[in-house]
Amino acid sequence: MFQTFLTKLKGSLRLWPCLLLAIVTTTAVGVVYPQQVGLLLWSLTKVFWAVYLAYWLDRWVFWYARPGAYKASGTAGLTSLAMMMLRRALLMAAIAIAVGLGV
């Protein structure tokens, strides 16, 4: 059981350089402009909620074409799977950018 936990933890820390950079820059903002930390956290919260809702919007609208439930066979199957994954990523990115820009 402990080995399984370590394996999951190792997989979840693939982006540790990004996490470290986020912590360092947030700390720098907190030191230089402490009044902006609340605004930064509010903006991040909005973007994370937008990405979360975009994921569920994709699952709701395209209920028949989920990448995780697709059984790819052959080149055409892999192309369809790639298109489903690209659709979801583009939808999530577009909504995150729109919310991040304040729309």
C-alpha span between 33 and 49 (Å, rounded): 25
User: Within its chain, how far is the Cα of 2 from the centroid?
Assistant: 27
Residues 3, 63: Cα–Cα separation, whole Å: 35
Say what the pLDDT of residue 11 is: 66
Question: Greatest CA separation found in the chain?
Answer: 55
Q: Of residues 62 and 94, which shows the higher confidence score?
A: 94
C-alpha–C-alpha distance, residues 50 and 23, integer Å? 21
Summarised one tens digit per residue, pLDDT across range 15-73 is 788 788 888 988 998 999 999 988 888 888 888 888 888 888 887 877 776 666 666 66
The Cα–Cα gap between 23 and 62 comes to 36
